[in-house]
Structure 1
Amino acid sequence: MAFRNNQRQTAPQKKINTITISLSSPDDILERSYGEVLKPETINYRSYKPEKDGLFCERIFGPVKDYECYCGKYKRIRYKGIVCDRCGVEVTEKKVRRERMGHIKLVVPVVHIWFFKSLPNKIGYLLGLSSKKLEAIIYYERYVVIQPGALEGTVEELELLTEEEYLEYLESLPKENQQLENEDPNKFIAMMGADAVRLMLERLKLDELSYQLRHQAANETSQQRKSEALKRLRVVESFRDGQTRMENRPEWAVIQYLPVVPPELRPLVPLDGGRFASSDLNDLYRRVIIRNNRLKRLLEIKAPEVILRNEKRMLQEAVDSLFDNSRKSNAVKAEGGRALKSLSDILKGKQGRFRQNLLGKRVDYSGRSVIVVGPTLKLHECGIPKGMASELFKPFVIRKLIERGIVKTVKSAKKLVDRKESVIWDILENILKGHPILLNRAPTLHRLSIQAFQPVLIEGKAIQLHPLVCGAFNADFDGDQMAVHVPLSHAAILEAQVLMLASHNMLNPQDGSPITLPSQDMVLGLYYLTKERKSVKGKKVRGEGSTFYSPEEVLIAYNEGQVDLHASIKVRVNTLDENDNPIVERVETTVGRVIFNQAVPEGVPYVNQLLTKKNLKKVINDIITRTSFKVTAEMLDQIKEMGFYWSFKGGLSFNLGDLITPTMRQSILESAQAEVDEVWDNYNMGLITNNERYNQIIDKWTFADNRITDGLLKELAAHKDGFNSVYMMLDSGAR
């Protein structure tokens, strides 16, 4: 594959407009190569030096040691650029072994697997052949008629022939026919293998083919054939465009010179005990070279055609394995039965070069850890472990240590930070005051998956997260991990504080609804707090029906034990009328709701309802609309603490006494069973079909199930005057 910058090389350096990715021509490969690799050997097992003309040859790829040739005649930088007359190695830096490529001259051409095995099949589209037929030609199973010549009418162009058919046709022709030039229209040409494919691609007239396919796409009645013509036309047009600029030719998909990757990109690493760990590419290249050399020798000794054909097929398979080993059914395997990693495997997928190394680089000033709940945090805060913070903000701490004169050098400051001396914690806290951090939870599906927080130093090794931001991150505390990033520049810090701070991101970008909502324990606690209890016979609720002058009076009475938390009372409160004008009104409410309204900011109507998860969402939405994010954030922190406190005070838990059985269950089940038996009787008498029987039975049991569920909920609601823990969990929306 060749990359071309579409600017003239002689022009001064300018901004690159476009980059063309095209097929590499044989000349391109030779131009980039520093020499031909002739031997499959890598390094000498005695001297541990690269073998000459092998896969690690210093003459081709450059010296193993900086400014030192293979034989040792030239050493030191003063000989830079000299090519040793004894060993032929250029005296230069060893890093050139990461850049310099070699090549293998193939005895017979080989078709690149990407262009006939992958979908869409590019060569198949150009030639109008199916993948199966193309593979039969490439792997030396069938001959293909490239030019019928004298046999026009007997055989067609691109027809596939077996060995016997090919020999029959040859015998039927005069001997002089095979001595004609290939350009002669009377010559019968039928070939197999990559040679045949290359000849067919060379003979393609792309302009004529483009015209034919356009005509076919315009006039074809069958939708399938029209679609096929358009697919072929797309490939033809891309090659036509490349051919006019001399950048792309179809026949370059057939390889004559195989590029060899620089040796440092397929290293051979020495291990303990004199063994080596080798890249899989070395094994794949070795197979290609061994087969190529064997085929060269067989051609020299004029071996029979059957043996040659088999060796050519093996060479094609070896090159296929080098380019894409995973695509082959009989992949080349290592000793342990593991498929070797080919060039394609190195590039593709999540672990490939592009996604793993180029797009997914490791970021400086970042870390990751498990998250735990931080119930005491404010909405804009998160807890960062001391060890993590000291590492993330290390350069900042070092600078402050030197500025304050505590240490003189960076080295001694680093030692101080690494030893976690007590002096660094005060400095770290000062640094953190105006420096937000970003928290990211994978998968990052929307913009609220990355939010900024003010870090708070904590003990331990887990990151503490505010419970109200879990909804935005879709996080829970069952082992989730989150990544921490430190914004460095002033612009990044300002952006984090203004745009990305958690207390400024309370609305869901999808629909504008609040996303920082209390959940689970908090919802249950607030539901319990705002629930009303009515007096029943023999059980009077303390303080029920009392009237109070102000909410402050209610709180005093409650603290003195004069009124129950769930008692229904009357009290004068500040609220808003229908036109949002402030008024003082006497409302019938409960003590718990008065306590809840202490957290509600001014300018919001009195909240006088039982707080379920749905109602809470409406209340928070109303508060955000009427006030600001800052006011809402303060209110959310207060109701978070209130929710946790009253959930604990209420002693709400799943206990066996709250799991009641509906009294009507048995009678409903017996009634449903009787109805089902009747349906079976009707079916057995042939009055209804099997489908009707099935549907009626499903309906009967579904109806019975719904009746039991409704009955259970009614009984749960009545049990313990509606203060059954299980019912409260169900009704409040706390999971």
Structure 2
Amino acid sequence: CGLPKEMALELFKPFVMRKLIEENDCANIKSAKRRIERADGKVWDVLEKVIKDHPVLLNRAPTLHRLSIQAFEPVLIEGRAIKLHPLVCTAFNADFDGDQMAVHVPLSVAAQAEARYLMLASNNILKLSDGKPVVTPSQDMVMGSYYLTIDKEGAKGGPISSEIEGIASVVASEGKVEVIIRNDSESRAYQLEGARKILVKDGDKVVAGQHVLSGKCFKDEDEAIMAYQVGEIELQAIVNVRVEREFEGEKVSGIVETTVGRIIFNKAIPQDLGFVERKTKEDALKYEINFLVAKKQLGNIIERCFKLKGTTATAELLDEIKALGYKYSTVGAITTSVFDMHIPPEKAGIIKEAEEKVVEVEDMFEQGFITDEERYKQVVSIWDKATEDVTKKLEGTLSKFNPIWMMAHSGARGSMKQIRQLSGMRGLMADPKGKTIELPVKACFREGLSVLEYFISSHGSRKGLADTALKTADSGYLTRRLVDVSQDVIVREEDCSAGSRPQGVWVQAITGNTKDEIIEKLEDRITGRWSIDQIVHPQTGEVLVEADTMITEDQAIAIVKAGIDKVYIRSVLTCKCKQGICAKCYGKNMANSMPVGLGEAVGVIAAQSIGEPGTQLTMRTFHTGGVASGGDITQGLPRIEELFEARKPKGVALVCEVNGVVSVSETANKREIIIAGSNGEVKSYQIAKNARLKVAAGDTVEAGTVLTEGSVYPQDLLRTKGVKAVQDYLVKEVQSVYRMQGVAINDKHVEIIVKQMLRKVKVEDAGDTNLLPGELVDIFRFDDENLEALQNGGRPAAAKRTLLGITKASLATDSFLSAAAFQETSRVLTEAAIRNKEDTLHGLKENVIIGKLIPAGTGLKEYRNIEVLSNVEYATPESEEDFEIAE
């Protein structure tokens, strides 16, 4: 990063003063200080030396996740603003419009080493929430890469197409060769100039638009690039280039069809990323990237490079793509004007048709055939369809070189949604309560809005701004509660069930309401987790994954291809660690794709991974106009909060408590579901008139079956189906909300929070233990007490597993310091004093409060007090076998 000179001088003042005295330029601290204040030439030279190899930390508020603080090598610059690499902006959520950042200087050698090895921006390429690259090029860089790799029909130097349909003849006369296309009414001649190939033969039938002459041919890449530089061909013209490569130790050469833009782009890309299978000589000649590159493809290129080549190569590739992207977005000079917004000619007809349909619906309502609610729903769906039709027609009218389309299609900025509002129609708007207003905005911005339309749309816009302000606060508070509940979850041992078969969980793809709607694929759920048993191909019997190994991405894909739909893996939910969790139950570290190391603060990482995208979730409860489950479905942030706080949801679904057969009875004033239990027990549930049933009369149900539509109350599920069902339900529901908004979060983060919510049991019968009835105890302490009672020949205690919301779980933690720092300080401290509690300082917060090193990362006691042995004599290997062992 670039650091302004004056700022750097102030930050590194003590170091500069020491250096000035060391080099005998100043006699003492006081004179060194005066010299710095004068800021003469020598001071700047010393500052340059001091700053070399001394990383600084940059932090942008709000610090929502680990990547909001990163280390950089500072470079002194003139001017008064910090300079930042554009690729790290995504991680910081920064932009160049006046953002402020804080600079910190790590002082001790240990702090500098940690900054360099753990926090340097080039070592933080992957996002912690899902393990995908966070430093993907965006905006201008995407636009430049897109412009560079697109191909253009009819570009200068590219193939020549026939303008008419007819019969081809190739004529050579007076030293020139022509391809002539004739039909009954006209003929066209195309002269063969420069190095081109003739693509048709005498007597061939040719259709309009068919290529008759190929693009120009070049002897090598350099000649093609030179032809572009002197204006002989265009960047997007499809040309033929002779390429030389090495294949299985011998040189091969041949002609490849590509564009100059793609030749330039491929110069920056390693040619072995696996986009092309290089099994034959022909394959060996192909360019790695011979397709259109948009934002998604750039992400794939970077992800593959990281997997195959590691951090350093990826950092270099990113810089290359950044430079190319900026250069060619400048060369492309893409601009937009009002005339780039083309209104589809069919729009007027679509709107007229929709208006007629609405009039019909209104008539039916006035005659009393339908209720007001049905009328509203029908009108809304008519206008939704009209907006969709206009959008479809609009997509057809845009050329692929339309600047607005290029921006949206490349992923540089905007989407079809914005294009629709610019040149289609704005469509239906929502009012401040989130209910859709049935009057649509028929105009688009290109035509301009009428006064009424302007007021209708200002409703929604203001709601959006108000939502954003509220959302930030809510999301921040959610993150704080999540951090608090999970801050003591640290990787404390390698394997919690060493020597015995571990417990695990069965996982399968998370599906929506229908089996086809996949929310999270199976391969995403098992990648980076440890297997418990061998996973075998059901048909061939081939071992896909050995027992007790970490499943790689390729293995996960192979498992799904083999038709296996559920896999038994180790999970945080079944980890037997008494404090924290073990490395094998957690799986891979998302930041570097390696197995997680001891001391990793996985609890805080989980909380940040769930909380950080919180601001992207909607605040809205979608109003369905009172249909669905007699209420509104809660989505977005409020739904996440509802799940993690284990609250009773709005529009709660009925959960069956017994096994039996369903019957439904309806009278004038009430409606109920009756379940005749298999043991003679009969249960009846009263339900609302407009509730939708998920079961029919005569169905056989078991305890835990959901009877009506709506959200399930997790406590009902825990009571009827047990812990496993509740864990699965919470993970599935949280994932559904995030995936619906296009945010990917790995399951293990959600599992850590769910594990913390289910940590306590409520003692019902104390037996011969030291526990009290009604007391909430940690499940591991409960097991220990029971074991002790049994060993002494006593009666064990009985308890019921409880599900606590994250706030309650944070306050119920064993550490009173952590709980007091969270909420209700006086109550927590009073209770701790009365109970004579002691704090074992296992978590992060307690240690921060009393000023000790946190027991995570390099503060873990296993990593402390490590001596560096010097002058140790190594045994010299006698033979080559010994040498291998020694290595």
TM-score bracket for this pair, using the shorter chain length: 0.3 to 0.5
* Higher helix residue share: 1
- TM-score using structure 1 length: 0.45
The structure with more radius of gyration: 1
